[in-house]
């Protein structure tokens, strides 16, 4: 069970939230790998997606499958939590109540292409990372996740080596909740990105999520206009 304590306003937490937002924007502006002339390759390397049961709402792989939300790439497939047949495929772990927009996973695809499938075989969402920090104060948990996202620096640098030697890399991106909404309005509301996953983003009445999305929006706009390079 993920338990996140309520926080008070503190500059350090705001700094972490801002940095994580700018990091996601930097990842969004990565350029997909070139297709050699005459070669048609899949848009992303194969990957196994593990759906973990959410400790808060109990959504599981059945919830995710029933939602009808497709995986972002046809080359990716869902494997059961206890399935060992994923072989050498890199893995992505999500909660049953969240999903990623395809663009959010571009740095993952580039990392696998550049460094090979055995490198960082354990990509996971921020929400999954939080489940592994039970009882941590929200600010401390975010600071830990902030560090787990540093692998993106190597991808942004465009170098061919130097990928951090670790078994789990947290994806620097907000996710969206898997919604049971049956009305258009409820569905539209459910599309709001949540920077720390479906539940922890509500911490402090969602003000950190609102701040994150504002920084993400303004940084992306500035980058498009050439006013910022959005370094993480
Ligand atoms: Zn959940």
Convert the pLDDT of each residue in 189-210 to its tens digit: 778 899 999 999 999 999 999 9
133 close to 88: Cβ distance less than 8 angstroms:
no
CA 47–ligand 1 middle distance (angstroms): 23
Q: Give CA–CA dist 63/58, Å, rounded.
A: 9
Judge residue 57's burial from the number of C-beta atoms within 10 Å of its C-beta, 0-12 exposed, 13-18 middle, 19 or more buried.
middle
| pLDDT, average across residues 87-94 | 83
Contacts for 10-18: CB closer than 8 Å, 24+ residues apart: 10/139, 12/139, 12/143, 13/138, 13/139, 13/142, 13/208, 14/211, 16/139, 16/142, 16/143, 16/146, 17/142, 17/195, 17/208, 17/211, 17/212, 17/215, 18/211, 18/212, 18/215
Proportion of the chain above pLDDT 90, given as a percent? 50
CA 157–ligand 1 middle distance (angstroms): 34
Q: 182 Cβ partners below 8 Å, 6+ apart? A: none
The confidence score (pLDDT) of residue 117 equals: 67
CA 35–ligand 1 middle distance (angstroms): 38
What does DSSP assign to residue 194? B
Residue-wise pLDDT for 96-139, tens only, equals 999 998 888 889 988 888 887 666 568 999 999 999 999 999 99
Give the total residue count for the chain.
232
The confidence score (pLDDT) of residue 25 equals: 96
CA 99–ligand 1 middle distance (angstroms): 11
What does DSSP assign to residue 175? B
The confidence score (pLDDT) of residue 10 equals: 61
The confidence score (pLDDT) of residue 84 equals: 64
The confidence score (pLDDT) of residue 114 equals: 85
Residue for token digits 């072989």? 87
Sign of the torsion formed by the C-alpha atoms of 12, 13, 14 and 17: positive
CA 127–ligand 1 middle distance (angstroms): 9
CA 6–ligand 1 middle distance (angstroms): 18
136 close to 203: Cβ distance less than 8 angstroms:
no
CA 179–ligand 1 middle distance (angstroms): 10
| pLDDT, average across residues 52-77 | 88
Tell whether the model's pLDDT for residue 91 goes beyond 80.
yes
The confidence score (pLDDT) of residue 202 equals: 92
Residue-wise pLDDT for 69-90, tens only, equals 888 777 788 887 666 656 678 8
What does DSSP assign to residue 160? S
The confidence score (pLDDT) of residue 14 equals: 94
The confidence score (pLDDT) of residue 87 equals: 66
76 close to 50: Cβ distance less than 8 angstroms:
no
CA 93–ligand 1 middle distance (angstroms): 14
- Split at pLDDT 50, 70, 90, the class of 23 is very high
CA 197–ligand 1 middle distance (angstroms): 8
Judge residue 75's burial from the number of C-beta atoms within 10 Å of its C-beta, 0-12 exposed, 13-18 middle, 19 or more buried.
middle
CA 1–ligand 1 middle distance (angstroms): 11
Judge residue 200's burial from the number of C-beta atoms within 10 Å of its C-beta, 0-12 exposed, 13-18 middle, 19 or more buried.
buried
CA 172–ligand 1 middle distance (angstroms): 19
CA 55–ligand 1 middle distance (angstroms): 7
| pLDDT, average across residues 34-55 | 77
CA 27–ligand 1 middle distance (angstroms): 25
Residue-wise pLDDT for 138-191, tens only, equals 999 999 999 999 999 999 998 878 888 877 899 999 999 997 767 787 777 778
CA 8–ligand 1 middle distance (angstroms): 24
The confidence score (pLDDT) of residue 31 equals: 81
CA 60–ligand 1 middle distance (angstroms): 8
Tell whether the model's pLDDT for residue 2 goes beyond 50.
no
- How far CA 176 is from CA of 119, 121, 141, 222, 227, in Å, comes to 26, 23, 20, 24, 28
Q: At what angle are helices 106-115 and 11-28 packed, to 10 degrees?
A: 70
CA 221–ligand 1 middle distance (angstroms): 31
């Amino acid at each position: 069970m993920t338990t996140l304590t309520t926080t008070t306003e503190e500059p350090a937490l705001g700094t972490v939230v801002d940095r994580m937002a700018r990091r996601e924007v930097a990842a969004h502006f990565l350029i997909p790998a070139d297709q050699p002339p005459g070669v048609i390759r899949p848009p992303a390397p194969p990957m196994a997606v593990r759906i973990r049961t959410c400790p808060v709402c109990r959504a599981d792989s059945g919830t995710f499958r029933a939602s009808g939300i497709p995986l972002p790439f046809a080359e990716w497939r869902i494997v059961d939590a206890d399935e060992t047949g994923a072989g050498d495929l890199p893995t992505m772990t999500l909660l049953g109540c969240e999903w990623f927009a395809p663009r959010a996973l571009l740095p993952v695809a580039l990392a696998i292409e550049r460094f090979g499938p055995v490198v960082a075989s354990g990509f996971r969402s921020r929400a999954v990372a939080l489940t592994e920090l039970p009882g941590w104060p929200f600010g401390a948990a975010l600071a830990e996740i902030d560090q787990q996202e540093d692998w993106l620096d190597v991808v942004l640098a465009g170098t061919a080596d130097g990928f951090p030697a670790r078994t789990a890399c947290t994806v620097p991106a907000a996710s969206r909740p898997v919604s049971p909404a049956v009305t258009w309005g409820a569905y539209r509301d459910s599309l709001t990105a949540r920077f720390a996953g479906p539940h922890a983003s509500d911490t402090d009445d969602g003000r950190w999520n609102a701040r994150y999305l504002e920084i993400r929006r303004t940084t992306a706009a500035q980058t498009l206009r050439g006013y910022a390079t959005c370094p993480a």
